[in-house]
Each structure stands twice: as C-alpha cells, then as structure tokens.
Structure 1
Amino acid sequence: MEMIGFAFLLLGLVSPISVASRIQASSELLDFEALNCRKHSAVLTQFGGKGDGKTSNTNAFQSAISQLSKVASDGGAQLIVPPGRWLTGSFNLTSHFTLYIHKDAVILASQDESEWPLIKPLPSYGRGRDDSGARFISLISGTNLTDVVITGGNGTIDGQGAIWWQKFKNKQLQNTRPYLIEIMFSTQVQISNLTLLNSPSWNVHPVYCSDVIIQGLTIRAPVDSPNTDGINPDSCSNVRIQDCDVVSGDDCIAVKSGWDEYGIAFGMPTQQLIIRRFTCVSPYSAAIALGSEMSGGIRDVRAEDITAVTTESAVRIKTAVGRGAYVKDIYVKGVTMHTMKYVFWMTGNYGEHPDNGYDPKALPVIENINYRDMTAENVTIAGHLEGINGDPFTGICVSNVTIGMSSVKSKKGPWNCTDVSGVSSKVSPQPCSLLPEKQPGTIVPCAYPEDKLPIDNVQLKTCSAIV
C-alpha cells in the first residue's frame, strides 16, 4: 500500500477500495452520474465541517480539497457535503475530483467580504464587469483543471446575494461581484443536478474551457435582481447544456467570448455549443443571448426544445461597433413562448464598452442565423432586427413560425427591420420586406445541422457516494 493511502486510512478519510464496498448498515448509498467515478471518498465533517448554518466552513472545504488533491493521480477523490447548512466563503477545486452535494445539504455563501479574495480581471475583458477594479473570486472556482465534477442529488447552493445586489444598486462596489461557480482554463467539466439560489451575480460561468456538460440545474433569483444570469459559457468549446430551468433577473443563458479590444486580442471563440430542453423566465432579458461580449467570436450554436415564459425575448443577438469578430452559424428550432415582448431581437447598437480603447473600425460579422418551428402567444413585437449601417446582418432565415400578437400594439407594427437581409417561409405575422418569403405557398425549412457535436458522444458513468 502506498504511504499516502495508508495515511488516509489512519485518518479514516479515504479508502483505496471502492466506495460501494465500504457501505455500513447506518450509511446511505447514493448513485449519481458523472464523467468519471472516484477511487477515494471523504465527507466534509471529517475535516471539521459543521452544518449548523452559522459556523464558517471555509477552512474545512479548503483543507478537504487540499488533502484530497494528493490522490488525484491514484483514481481521484470525491468530497461529500452531507445534510446540513454549510456556511462558507470561496474555495478552489482540484483535478480528478467530484464535489457531491446531498439533496438535504445547503451550501450558504458567506456575507463576509473577507472570505472572498480578490483576483485579476479576465484577460478577455480587461476589467471587472461591474467596475474597473478587480473581481471577487467565485464561491466555487477552479483554474487549469482536468476532469472536475460538481453535482448532487439536487443539493442547494445559496449565494445569499441580496447584500451584493444592494451594494451594486447603491454603487458601493469598487470590484466586480462574485459568481456562484466559475471554472477557468479547464477541460472535462461537469456541473449537474443542483439547485442554485440568489447568486450575487452570474450563476455558472465556464470560461476558457472545453468539453463541458451542464445539465439538470434549477436556477432561481428574483426577476429584479441585477445581472443574475443563469449559465454563461464564455470562450468555451464543445459544450452541452440541457434539462435546465432558470428564473433570473438577466439572461437565462448568455453566450460570450470577451469584450472589445481585449476579446479580439485574446481571440478565443465560443463554439460547438448545444442547448436543449431548456426553460426560462426572465421578464427583462433573453432566454438565450449571444453577446454582448462576443469579441472572440461565437459560432456553431444549436438550440432546440426551448420554452420561454414571461421573458423579454427568446434569442437575442447583442453586438456593437468595436466588438469585431462574428456571430455566425446559429441554429434554433422548437421554441415555445408565452407572454413575450419580442420573439426576434437583434441589435448592433449595444454600446457598452470597457473603456475608450476600442477600435471603431472593428465591425462584427453577423451571418447565417436560422430560426424554425416556433410558436408564441401574447407577444408585443414579433421582430426588432437592427443591423449596423454599412455592416448589415446577413443570411437570416425564419421558417414555420406562428406568433400570436397581444392586444398591446407597437406603434411601428409587429416587425421593425433595418440593415439586415435574409428570407422567410410560412411566418405569421408576415415579416418585414427585408426578409422576403422564399417560394410562397411552400414551407422551406431553415437549416439545422444533422451531424452530432463531439460533446454529444460523451456518456456519463453511474457512480456512488456514501453518506
């Protein structure tokens, strides 16, 4: 037996034998799906954790993960958060590691700023998102990881964000608010089967990552809470988001890739993204937003089986002069909407900039945008499509779409289009003249790829945890 395994056996923390073989009569054996199962397992209480909702567990989490990182090369480890209310500041994960949150466990984010270290702005943003200063590190974070899983039996992470929202609204912050989960520069990432509540800002932010699976998340924040985006894949490749339900104060999914000159210089697109079986409620934002920070490019996004209820818009493209790069090869089908301000919304006039250093000649390319098989009811504006003068949005296709308009009429009519071009087929009400009908009397479907993205070939394994 290796010395490290022997040391963990003495402490009663980790065993080199399988999780299932260690079960005792008083134990609870839980099965769950993960990218990989782990050879070693421990429970937070074994590191001094106290689930009373009052005692800080920051040191317990940090100590547990530090110790368990030592067996990363020996089959990896999982840390079980058992039933209880576990108050904590931020902590960093490690590779070949699973954080499992029991269905009766609640991780409570500390409201003490001293438990949230400051970190540098993201290189593709050049500054903090809330302010030009640094960023508070996220509650659960990790950098340069391989094979990391955050999952549970629908266990809860509560960001207790009200104090942060108030500081933001009162302009009392000099640094960007923390997120609930942020994984950076990593590969083989899974975030699944959790309930996320009251994030100080964005909920889930994989950035500069590849091979990411996000599924089975329930995300809740008050609809007037500032910038509580649900899921924000940012400069990521090969991503699968499915079976998630979001109610938030901002975009339910925001696809990003860096901001103006910083994103252009960093040059890492978000690409090969699939979104399916997704539900959103967000009265002031979009079900799926592309941008506005898209200066590394966004391409090959596939969204299907989407439901938006009482949401400002379905799929929104947000860009501006100075963003550069592109949003292209976007495919959306099977969207059901109830009570919307907009169905289709694109703008080239989303003018937020990190500073005055952006290049006014950096014009974004928006092309090959496809929407099909959509129904909506109680809609105020069917489409507001606003390209950029001298830089029109091209290749827009809309087919088999039926929109029931509300009794509230827009003064400009159901469609308002400038600096765009494309085609439509069987769309009601009839689109603007810049989207003429293709082959009247015949449905000509807009494109949707038939091939599979590599992330769809990834199969999760059935693993076990003992509490």
Structure 2
Amino acid sequence: MTRPIAVAISARIAAIRLPVPGALYHLPRPLAFRLTPVARPEEVRTGLADRAVMLLNDLSPGTDYWFQADGLEPFEFRTRPCTALVEAAEFGLVEGTDLADIDSARHNAEALARAVRAVPEGGTLRLAAGLWTALPLRLASGVTLHLAKGAVLRGPALRTGWPILPARDGTGHMLGSWEGLPDACFAAPLHAVDAERLTIEGAGVIDGSGDAGDWWTWAKESREGARRPRGLHLIRCRNVALLGFTIRNAASWTVHPQGCDGLVAAGLSIEAPPDSPNTDGFNPESCRDVRIEGVRFSVGDDCIAVKAGKRGPSGEADHLSETRGVRVRHCLMERGHGGLVIGSEMSGGVHDVTIEDSEMLGTDRGLRLKTRRGRGGAISRVAMRRVRMERVLTAISANAHYHCDADGHEGWVQSRVPAPVGTGTPVIEDVDVHHLAHAAGVFLGLPETPIRGVRIRRLRLHSSAPEAVATPPVMADHVRPMRHERIVAEHADISCDDPALLSSASVSIPSVRDAP
C-alpha cells in the first residue's frame, strides 16, 4: 500500500494528497477516512474524501495526528505550533454591505494593519465570519492570515484612496508590473512584498470586487497613472502557503506570485465570470519551486499562466529572471481560455513545468505555449501526463507567432521566412506529452528556431464534436481554419508513438507559407 502525502501543513490545516491510481481532481470513488489526535484518541473524526487533495480543517496547533484512509497506509503528521491567535475583530472592524463606503473601507484597512502588526512571529490573525470591506492590506513575514468559514474580505467599489505600487522600489527592483514589464499598478486587496514564512488559509473568501466597480471596463488602460490590481499579489516572497480559501472577482489576474521562491497552493477555488477581461487564475512569474495542487479554476482567461517577464520595447531586460520548477497536480480547470499556458511573457525563460493527473473541461486550449519574435528567452522541459479533457477546442498548441502587443501583426513578427537569430529570438524545446485523453495539437514554430524535442505518447482521441466549425486554432496571422484535425506542425520537430496522429498538412495558408 502507498502512504498519503503531506502537501502543506499549517497550525490549523493539513492538505493531504491521496495517491490513488486513476485519481484526477476527484478520486475514482470516495474513501472513508479517520483522523485521530494521538494524545486524545477519543476525539476521532470520520468522513468521506472525494478529492485527490483533501483539506483537514479546524486542527489544533502543535498536535500529532494519525490519519487513516481506506486502501492507504496509516499516516502520522504534526501541525505547526502557533505563538498567538489574534482576533481581527478586536481592532474595531466595521461590518457592512455598502461597497461605496470608502470611509469604512479605509477604517477597516487601518484596523487590519494594526492587527497584522500585533501578530508575533509564528502567530495567526483570524478574520471571523462576516462581510468586511477594506482598502488593500499588506501582509508581513511570519504571519498566518486565517479566513474563517463565512468570512468575506473584499475591496471597495471605488478607487478613492486606493494605494498604488510604483513600477520600481527604492533599490530599482520591479515592484508594480503589468504584463511582464515594470509599471505602476493599484495594490491588490491582499498583497505582500519581501515577506517570508507567510500563510493565507481558511474556508473564507477574498473578493476583489472587480464586478462592482469599473475595473473591467478599462482592461488595457491606466487610470490615475496605474494599471488594474491583482486579486492577490505576492512580490519577492519566500516560503508561502495558500490553503483552502476561495478567491474571486479579481480586477485583473487573480493570484500573481512575482519573483517568489517556494510557494504551495492547495485546495483553493479561483473564480471569475467568463466574460471578465484578463482574469487569469494563477500566474507565477519569475518564480522558483511552485506547487499547485487540488485547485479548482473557473475564470475569464487562462487558468494557469506561467510567465517570466517581457523584454521591453527597446530591449530592456534588467527586470527579467527565469521561472523554474512549477508542478501542477490534481487540478480542475472548468472553464478558461487555456488550462496550463506558458507565455506569452517568457523573456526570462521558463523551465521544468509539469502538469499531471488533472482535468480540463470546456477550456479553449489544454496545454498552450505562446511567444513571438522580440521576446527572446526559452521554454524548455515541459511535461503533461494523465490529463483528461472534455469540450476542449485544441488540446495542445505551441505558437511562436502569437500576435500580442501593438506590433503583433507586423510582417517581421508574422513572416514565415527565416529571420536573423538574436537576443529577441525565442526558443521552444523539450515538450513531453503522454497519457492524454481527447483532442490533438497544433505546433507553429519559427523557421529560424524551430520547435524541438516534442514527444507525444499515448494520446487518445475519443470523439470530435460534429457541430464544430472550422476556425484558426492558434492566435497567429495566416493560419488556415481547421476542423477535426490531428497533430499539425510547421517548423516543429514532433515525435509521436502513433504515426497515424501526425498530419502532413500545413498550419499556415499555403499562399503565404513561404512568401517573403
């Protein structure tokens, strides 16, 4: 028998992975479990687990537990100690439903800031059940923010008094950002800068109120000299755990770790309406060692978008650093433009990204790699294993002619004629896909740096929608419409264990394929 695996353990919550064969987001069948405090066996807790990554809530700090689930070996773990439990309500919070009440939002932000300062290293700030509207709160190192069941922490509808993060801090490092470049942005309702040993957890809700104000009406613009805020923005943080909460209605990207090292997200629910602009679910940018497990996504843009910054219009690169080591397991992408996306901001390089044992239902794309001339950087060692897709338009796409930015449709970006190789030439290599169920793929590389080392194994196509309409499958110019295609590739090296899946057809419209 195999043993359960601890994904993350805080003082009051344990995220446990149940390694059952065939488990994706859900288990093949529910498992009965028992949870027993070792020193208090009379307090045994029983239940049924239906997800591969389960959260055990309401645990006692500094306590040994014995966990048993049907068919798995017994597993013992110990919760972290907690130096103090601080109740946010004791600092004079005002509960209310008026999202336009800026005075109350400012009052609550000041009260929460005092509460954060009152939490000792290793302590917990608990936000009790209630509807709490506050201007953005900055979290600190060594603090656990515990959102109790029924607690909703939300931003106000108006921008009056909303703090702004400058593009760079006093040392010149990127602070505020927008689509991979330093840029002033409104602070996220919850954010942290240079924090370590930070935990945000609980069964409560973080609500960015993107649907309440005018945030979603100026998606690519600035107001008051700043870009839209994220839902949760973590900048240069180390050893962060995000456990169990729901985060919804972000003004732009929902969860944005930027320059972080050592982050685990488990059991979250990330939500945004399908028509909300650029409300990506989880966007690790220039990060190392990121684990995303048992997270449910239903958003207005990409579910997970792995990024590494964007080279500036004049080649600026001092803000760039790589993303390396992203692991996605047992997640559910119920809607979104892409399930797991890399790019298009990838100038610092993205390496060692794996998604496995997950489900994508109704996303436009499954695994999606996107870049273009001018970005530079490299994408390498990408793997997708045991992923089930339903109602996905294109399962796998790699596009080196992505027509983003103002010059994205220029001839030098979209030309299929080889261009000189330089610092702005992107590279895609070493993509490994196997145990994948559903549709096929499109790979559109650059003639000067073809996509290399793509390996596809055990791809199973179960059905194609009879009502499908022929449409270009990737966002690039001169791409022909496709319907019920197999794997098509241009300027790409593809290896497949089933040669029948490889098509000899071109991706581009034949008349422009080799045009100067």
What is the TM-score normalised by the length of structure 2?
Answer: 0.71
1:425 alignment partner AA: D
**Root-mean-square deviation over aligned CA pairs:** 3.0
Shift of 1:332: 0.9
Indicate conservation of the 8 Å contact 1:35/1:149, yes or no. no
1:410-433 deviation digits (Å, cap 9, x = unpaired): 454433311100300137x61235
Give the structure 2 partner of residue 101 of structure 1: 147
Give the structure 2 partner of residue 438 of structure 1: none
1:197 aligns with 2:197: no
Shift of 1:128: 3.2
1:81-111 deviation digits (Å, cap 9, x = unpaired): 1011001110100110011101111112111
1:53 alignment partner AA: T
Indicate conservation of the 8 Å contact 1:99/1:149, yes or no. yes
Name structure 2 gaps, 5 residues minimum.
Answer: 1-56, 62-77, 414-420, 471-480, 507-516
Give the structure 2 partner of residue 247 of structure 1: 298
Indicate conservation of the 8 Å contact 2:128/2:150, yes or no. yes
1:30 aligns with 2:89: no
Counterpart Cα distance in 2 of 1:62 and 1:98: 18
1:156 pairs, out of 193, 205, 226, with 205
1:430 alignment partner AA: L
SS at match of 1:45: helix
1:417 aligns with 2:489: yes
Shift of 1:199: 1.0
Counterpart Cα distance in 2 of 1:160 and 1:68: 23
Is the alpha carbon distance of 1:354 and 1:38 closer, same or farther for their aligned partners in structure 2, counting shifts above 3 Å?
farther
Counterpart Cα distance in 2 of 1:183 and 1:151: 15
1:296 aligns with 2:348: yes
Counterpart Cα distance in 2 of 1:280 and 1:424: 26
Counterpart Cα distance in 2 of 1:327 and 1:190: 26
1:139 aligns with 2:185: no
Counterpart Cα distance in 2 of 1:265 and 1:133: 14
Shift of 1:47: 0.7
1:307 aligns with 2:355: no
Give the structure 2 partner of residue 348 of structure 1: 400
Indicate conservation of the 8 Å contact 1:58/1:91, yes or no. no
Give the structure 2 partner of residue 90 of structure 1: 136
SS at match of 1:46: helix
1:113 aligns with 2:159: yes
Percent identity of equivalent pairs: 25
Shift of 1:260: 1.6
1:387 aligns with 2:445: yes
1:270 aligns with 2:323: yes
1:432 pairs, out of 470, 482, 503, with 503
Counterpart Cα distance in 1 of 2:454 and 2:119: 52
Shift of 1:133: 5.8
Give the structure 2 partner of residue 25 of structure 1: none
2:334 pairs, out of 281, 292, 303, with 281
Give the structure 1 partner of residue 227 of structure 2: 176
1:184 alignment partner AA: I
Indicate conservation of the 8 Å contact 2:245/2:269, yes or no. yes
Is the alpha carbon distance of 1:323 and 1:126 closer, same or farther for their aligned partners in structure 2, counting shifts above 3 Å?
farther
The alignment covers a number of residue pairs equal to: 397
Give the structure 2 partner of residue 450 of structure 1: none
Shift of 1:263: 7.5
1:234-288 deviation digits (Å, cap 9, x = unpaired): 11101110000010110000000101247743341111111001111335x1001
Name structure 1 gaps, 5 residues minimum.
Answer: 1-28, 436-467
1:47 aligns with 2:47: no
Shift of 1:43: 1.1
1:108-139 deviation digits (Å, cap 9, x = unpaired): 21112024211123666996349996211111
SS at match of 2:178: coil
Give the structure 1 partner of residue 268 of structure 2: 217
Counterpart Cα distance in 1 of 2:270 and 2:143: 23
Indicate conservation of the 8 Å contact 2:222/2:228, yes or no. no
SS at match of 1:114: coil
Shift of 1:32: 7.5
Shift of 1:345: 0.7
Indicate conservation of the 8 Å contact 1:246/1:252, yes or no. yes
1:94 alignment partner AA: A
1:406 alignment partner AA: A
1:405 aligns with 2:464: yes
